[in-house]
Structure 1
Amino acid sequence: MWQTVLAVLGTLAGSAVTAVLQRGALHLQAQIAREDKAREDRLHAVTAFTAVLADHRRAMWLREHLRLTTAPTEQVTEARSASHTTRSALTAPHLAVTLLLPELQDAANRAVEATYALRNAPHLDQLNERRNEALTATDAFTAAARPVLGVCNSCT
Structure 2
Amino acid sequence: MEELQKNGYKGYTKKEGLLYDKKIAKLQKNLGGIRKLASNAQMPNVMIVASPIEDEIAIREAKRKGLKVFAIHDTNSNPDLSDFVIPANDDTAKSITLIITILADAIASARGGKQLFAFKSNEEIVLPEDPRAAENKEKRLARYNQNSEAQPKEAKEQKENK
Using structure 1 for the length normalisation, give the TM-score. 0.25
Higher strand share: 2
Higher helix share: 1
